[in-house]
Structure 1
Amino acid sequence: MPHSTPLVATVVAGLVAAFAMGAVAHRLRISPVAGYLFAGVLVGPFTPGVVADSALANELAELGVILLMFGVGLHFSVRDLLSVRKIAVPGAVLQIAFATALGAGLATWLGWNLAGGLVFGLALSVASTVVLLRAMQVGKLMDTERGRIAVGWLIVEDLAMVLVLVLLPALAGLANGRAQSGMELAWMIGLTLAKVGGFIALMLIVGKRVIPAALHWAAHTGSRELFRLAVLAIALGVAFGAAYVFDVSFALGAFFAGMVMGEKQLSRRAAEETLPLRDAFAVLFFVSVGMLFDPAVVVEHGGAVLATVLIVILGKSLAAIAIVRFFGHSLHTALTVAAGLAQIGEFSFMLAALGVKLGVLPEEGRDLILAGAIFSIFANPLLFRWLAGRHSIVKSVAASESARRAPSAAGERVVLVGYGRVGRLVAEGISGEARQMVIVEERADLARSAREIGHEVVEGNASSMDILEEAGIGEATRLMIAIPEGFEAGVIAQHARQRNPDIQILARAHSDEEVDHLEKIGADHVVMGEREIARRLLELLQSSRRQGSGEPA
């Protein structure tokens, strides 16, 4: 068997290191993103030991970007995009201009020419697609106004960077003394805008009919494997075709592919099918960023690295806060948008690589951009955690007060975890008995459905003690766990029992091992779906036999 397998080695080294460092990060109670970045440093070319192929890692990371943007598009309609255009368009343009000016100023102080300073500043102005969307999904912000503003802002930034990447070779020719007429520049700008507009029009007119029809056909075949392949083929095929034919980014192509079918019934199933691959390749994105980082840069150019990081985290944030507040939105919305955009990523690397290749940006500039990216990506989850902590103080106090009042108003309070197919039926039954109930649901679309019916909902992962506290677990009389993951249910049951020793716990399981685990954890009753189905089928069989023999049923 040949052992020269760089692709396999890169995937294995990246995922194994990411798992190890992610577990350490989880143990230290910090964001797993920090662990993934450090894993990249460990398997990168600037540290001893195993060295993965950084070029292959970057290409694999692009798959994560495509699948992530496709998933976001499934939950982001044209109406959502148009609803935030009045702030997203001017906000993104103004922030790009401000960050570019700050970057150019730092470049001038470092002794670079104006062209290099502009490329450097532009690279610092655009946020990472993966980092922003990961933060929005973890924070359950995708379906909020501030989440839509941040995503719309990001789309405008991506469009602007597509234009910059196309025009940069011509502008570099001017900077290096190679003449280029104004007519040629105008032609390039017009051609780029025409390509982007043509792609968007094609997706909204043709894609809106063809893509859903293809998925419906695949779904009606009854083959889950074929449906999964259809989803991946559409996401990856449209993204690649958009880049190859229309010169737009993979991310933008995948986003529109998801968006044109986002309001269809199959969108939720499509999102579920891409989730495992999306998460795996998104992890490889962070590993690939870490692989590019040379720790020696911090020692050799410490002051410049610090200034770069401050521009990305502080300068861009202050600009975003000022712009959002100017347009009349709340301070909390401004802080959310600012935190989401206070980092840089994939477009920054593309600009840096192209700038160095064209002789416009010095190699020191690329190193500073990479350092700024890794430190800002590392800090981003901490910013969101701080923001979430500040926002949740009042909400948690209010929820606790509500939870304390509820038992006095009614004799029983039930916390229901999960509002999927089983949880929805359980909720209907509990509501019919007029009991006090709060639903804990992690998925934003299901949480929204429960709220629309009138249920009290806490959005988040019930394995978090903070989420259980917000749901009033300390005052609840019963906990019903309706999620299909038995071992995750065990964590929830364990936390609930620690907080409320007298609570009665009813859980759902799919295997004998899950039943045993939940009973050891302390669940009072565990229902295994397969056993209940078999029991009911046997009851129906016996009933039909009695009827056939004339016996009373």
Structure 2
Amino acid sequence: MIHATPLITILVAGLGIAFIFGAIAHRLKVSPLVGYLLAGIVIGPATPGYVADQNLASELSEIGVILLMFGVGLHFSLKDLLSVRAIAVPGAIVQIAFATVLGIGIAHFAGWGLGGGIVFGLALSVASTVVLLRAMQDRRLIDTLRGRIAVGWLIVEDLAMVMALVLLPAVAGALGVGTANGTPSLSLVDVGISLGVTLAKVAAFIVLMLVVGRRVIPWLLHRMASTGSRELFRLAVLVIALGVAFGSATLFGVSFALGAFFAGMVMNESELSGQAAQDTLPLRDAFAVLFFVSVGMLFNPSSVIESPLLFVATLLVIVFGKSVAAFGLVLMFGHSKATALTIAASLAQIGEFSFILAPLGVSLGLMPQQGQDLILAAAIVSILLNPFLFMLLDRYFLHDASASASAAADPPEPAPSSGAADDEDEAAIAVAKPAPVAPASGHAVVVGSGRVGALIGEMLAEREVRRVVIEESESVIEALRGKGVSCHLGNAADPETLALADTIEARWLFVAIPNAFEAGQVVEQARKSNPDLQIIARAHSDAEVEHLKARGASRVVMAERETARGMIAEALLPRL
């Protein structure tokens, strides 16, 4: 029966084992991507036991690529890129070129052709979006200058890889496809014609998306939203993502990846893009997991065991070569050492695009299977090492901040100023300093200062109740501090951050964040610290209400129920 249902089998085995290994990876404080890749190795042909159908895995991974690239386009922000274009664009291009040259050097040493070296180097040059954003979010750097530069740098890398995916098939003949020694199999004229045709098709597709897609896609989303059916809206988003990707490949001969990327980018201009991203997130996550599992299935450990020097060289390019290049480039553009170190650590790993480029290079005959195995093995190790790099960076910043604080406490004789202070260094030291002390006992703690949390804060201020706010957005924190509100930057689910608000001496805790799971963690920790604390939380369903009450909430307000009560009160009030 199992052999008669290979699709169901691979879905159950792939997702089930990925869940187990992903949970273990999360428990060990490393990216779940490592767990997903290891799950693929377990069900792949390189290990004993069950071997999943590789043809089905390949097709499922294509859907994963489409939805992954759709998500990249959906979150693509031209505004974010333009705000740091002076450093992100040239910096990313030079860093990609530097890593590619290093990759070509390794390929030459291994006896591969020029084409294999270029694909190998490109795969080593691009960082993982998932890993980079997680590192930035964990340290609340997304809204800082360092975070914006890192994200802008990543956007440029992603755009470069999208173009590489489109152009590699066209120039494969000039890079040595079809020959044993890696010499060109096509003349430059033939390659020029092929490249020209490919660029013409890409240009036609882009024009169609910008002229027709920018009108049709937002219109279709608004029409589906106006029906009031969430199912139809979600279905419309998926049809657009998959349909545009399939149409781009079928009609224009461009990759699924480019079509999906432009579908997301055009949809991003709609006011409903946020809802589209939220509604499709579970499906995108599920197929992204299957994509990483399918990549793991392609891994052959013997390639790494037989060539340990090549593996070490590959890992050094990722962790050391790219980082040194990025560090030097950021300093050259006049930014502080703190910014340079943050960007360097952020880029010291590889991920999604590397896993898309490597199989493409192998399928085109540009790169041997050994290159793909080295990329995958180095990716796993680099992702494992990345959190430790940031831990070292955090310790460095803490030591630097402590030294600065000691110097401030016992300042030397003033010296003539040689110019303005580095704003970024001052900002880094300011973030590292202890947060303001919470007000005296009997205060209110507000977790989250979004729409609900901001209204709670205003009402507490009207009643002259002292409050401490915990918020993850640096811009919101700055605005609150400008008004004289005691607040702390961070995630309240972190016990150390919650303790800064002095919940032991507080009278009320308002948990205004919408995520019930995270809110439950906050409630549970606060209840342990203060059994008498009045904890009021928000929820959106009966299940969330029960969950929060089980964690120790004194009262849980469900928005939908309160809205219904208010409407009934308004309707019946005139009759009373």
Q: Is the structural similarity TM-score above 0.5? A: yes
Amino acid at match of 1:324: V
Instruction: Say if 1:89 and 1:156, in contact at 8 Å, map to a contact too.
Output: no
Instruction: Point out where structure 2 has 5 or more consecutive residues left out of the alignment.
Output: 402-427
| Deviation digits for residues 401-438 of structure 1 (CA, Å, limit 9, x no counterpart) | 4441x405x96242223635x44543443354454545
Classify the secondary structure of the residue corresponding to 2:536.
Answer: strand
SS of the aligned residue for 2:537 comes to: strand
Residue 525 of structure 1 deviates from its aligned partner by 2.6
The alpha carbon displacement at 1:154 in A equals 2.3
| C-alpha separation in 1, matches of 2:205 and 2:496 | 45
Measured in 2, the distance between the counterparts of 1:165 and 1:35 equals: 31
Q: Of 447, 450, 454, which residue of structure 2 is paired with 1:416?
A: 447
The match for 2:59 is 59
Supply the distance in 2 between the matched residues of 1:356 and 1:254 (Cα, whole angstroms).
22
Residues 301 and 31 (structure 1 numbering): CA distance in 2 closer, same or farther, change over 3 Å? same
Over 3 Å counting, the alpha-carbon distance change for 1:514 and 1:209 in structure 2 is closer
Letter in 1 for 2:159: I
CA shift digits 1:157-181 (9 cap, x unpaired):
3324432342113321586556633
CA deviations on 1:80-106 (whole Å, 9 max, x unpaired) are 344444444433332232222222222
Match of 2:287 in 1: 281
Correspondence for 1:264? 270
* C-alpha contact (below 8 Å) 1:127/1:345 kept by paired residues: yes
Matched to 1:429, the amino acid is M
In structure 2, do the counterparts of structure 1 residues 152 and 388 end up closer, same or farther at CA, with 3 Å as the change threshold? farther
Partner residue, 1:120: 120
Cα distance, 1:47 vs structure 2: 1.7
Report 1:376-415 matches (<5 A).
376-383=382-389, 387=393, 401-404=434-437, 406-408=438-440, 412-415=443-446
Which residue of the other structure, out of 442, 455, 459, is the alignment partner of 1:429? 459
Helix, strand or coil at the partner of 2:30:
coil
Q: CA deviation at 1:215?
A: 0.7
Mapping of residues 61-140 of structure 1, within 5 Å: 61-128=61-128, 131-132=131-132
How far is 1:476 from its partner?
4.9
Q: Deviations over 1:199-225 (max 9, x none)?
A: 333333332222111111111111111
Secondary structure at the aligned position of 2:439 is classed as: helix
- How many Å separate the matches in 1 of 2:458 and 2:269? 26
- TM-aligned CA deviation for residue 273 of structure 1: 0.8
Does 338-347 or 233-242 show the bigger shift? 338-347
Amino acid at match of 1:196: V
CA 1:180 to 1:101, structure 2 compared with 1: closer, same or farther past 3 Å?
same
Q: 1:123 to 1:489 in 2, by over 3 A?
A: closer
Pick one of 151, 159, 175 that aligns with 1:155: 159
Match of 2:374 in 1: 368
Q: Is the 8 A contact 2:75 2:265 kept in 1?
A: yes
Aligned counterpart in structure 2 of residue 463 of structure 1, from 490, 493, 497:
493
| More deviation, 102-111/382-391 | 382-391
Aligned to 2:19: 19
Using a 3 Å threshold, how does the CA distance of structure 1 residues 250 and 495 change in structure 2: closer, same or farther?
Answer: farther
Provide the residue aligned with 2:202 in structure 1. Answer: 196
Tell whether 2:179 aligns with 1:170. Answer: no
- Quick one: distance in 2 between partners of 1:134 and 1:57? 27
User: Is this contact kept in 1: 2:30–2:384, CA < 8 A?
Assistant: no
Residues of 1 paired with 2:33 and 2:492: CA distance? 21
SS at the partner of 2:52?
coil
Amino acid at match of 2:59: E
Q: Give the aligned residue type for 2:102.
A: L
Letter in 2 for 1:42: V
Alignment length (residue pairs): 540
What does residue 43 of structure 2 align with? 43
Quickly say closer, same or farther: Cα 1:160–1:241, change in 2 above 3 A: same
CA contact (8 A) 1:482 1:508 kept: yes
Partner amino acid, structure 2, of 1:415 = V
Q: Does 1:481 align with 2:508?
A: no
Contact 1:65 1:130 in 2 (8 A): no
Letter in 1 for 2:556: V
* Mapped partners of 2:141, 2:56: distance in 1: 32
**Whole-angstrom CA distance in 1 between matches of 2:475 and 2:326:** 28
CA distance in 2, matches of 1:392, 1:193: 50
The match for 1:523 among 526, 529, 553 is: 553
Kept in 1, the 8 Å contact 2:175–2:184? The answer is no
Counterpart CA distance in 2 for 1:401 and 1:85 is: 33
Shift in Å, 1:56: 3.0
Moved more, 264-273 or 63-72: 63-72
Name the structure 2 match of 1:235. 241
* Cα distance in structure 2, aligned partners of 1:399 and 1:369: 36
Matched, 1:145 2:148: yes
Q: What do residues 194-250 of structure 1 show as CA deviations (whole Å, max 9, x unaligned)?
A: 333333333333322221111111111111111111111122222333344444443
User: What's the counterpart of residue 407 of structure 2?
Assistant: none
> TM-score w.r.t. structure 1 length?
0.83
In 2, Cα distance between the equivalents of 1:391 and 1:220?
A: 51
Give the RMSD, CA atoms, in angstroms: 3.7
Give the Cα–Cα distance (whole angstroms) in 2 for the partners of residues 20 and 104 of structure 1. Answer: 37
Distance change >3 Å, CA 486–CA 104, structure 1 → 2: closer
Matches of 2:397 and 2:110, distance apart in 1: 40
Contact 1:479–1:506 (Cα < 8 Å) also in 2: yes
CA distance in 1, matches of 2:256, 2:10: 22
Per mean C-alpha deviation after superposition, the further-off stretch among 448-457 and 466-475 is: 448-457
Matched to 2:201, the amino acid is: K
Quote the Cα distance in structure 2 between the aligned partners of 1:398 and 1:81.
24
Cα distance in 2 for partners of 1:354, 1:511 equals 45
Q: What secondary structure is seen at the aligned counterpart in 1 of 2:329?
A: helix
Q: Indicate how the Cα distance of structure 1 residues 347 and 78 shifts in structure 2: closer, same or farther if over 3 A, else same.
A: closer
Q: Tell me how far apart the structure 2 counterparts of residues 346 and 76 of structure 1 sit (CA, whole Å).
A: 16
Map of 1:550 onto structure 2? none
Tell me the amino acid that sits aligned with residue 91 of structure 1.
G
Q: Distance in 1 between matches of 2:357 and 2:449?
A: 44
Is 1:511–1:528's contact at 8 Å kept on the other side of the alignment?
Answer: yes
Displacement of 1:276 after TM fit?
1.4
Deviates more, 1:393-402 or 1:167-176: 393-402
SS in structure 2 at match of 1:463: coil
Conserved 8 A contact 1:37-1:378: no
Cα pair 1:480 1:506 within 8 Å, conserved: yes
1:316 deviates by 1.6
Q: Any stretches of 5+ residues in structure 1 without a counterpart?
A: 548-552
What is the distance in 1 between the residues matched to 2:333 and 2:260? 30
CA distance 1:107–1:26, shift in 2 (3 Å): closer
The 1:371–1:152 alpha-carbon spacing in structure 2 relative to 1, beyond 3 Å, is same
- Partners of 2:398 and 2:261 lie apart in 1 by 31
Offset from partner CA, 1:313-359 (integer Å, 9 cap, x none): 21122222222332334444434443443333455455544544555
Question: Structure 2: which amino acid aligns with 1:407?
Answer: P
Identical counterparts, % of pairs: 55
AA aligned opposite 2:551 = I
Query: How far has the Cα of 1:111 moved from its partner?
Result: 3.9
CA distance in 1, matches of 2:268, 2:352: 25
* Residue of structure 2 in register with 1:309 after alignment: 315
Q: Distance in 1 between matches of 2:463 and 2:395?
A: 36
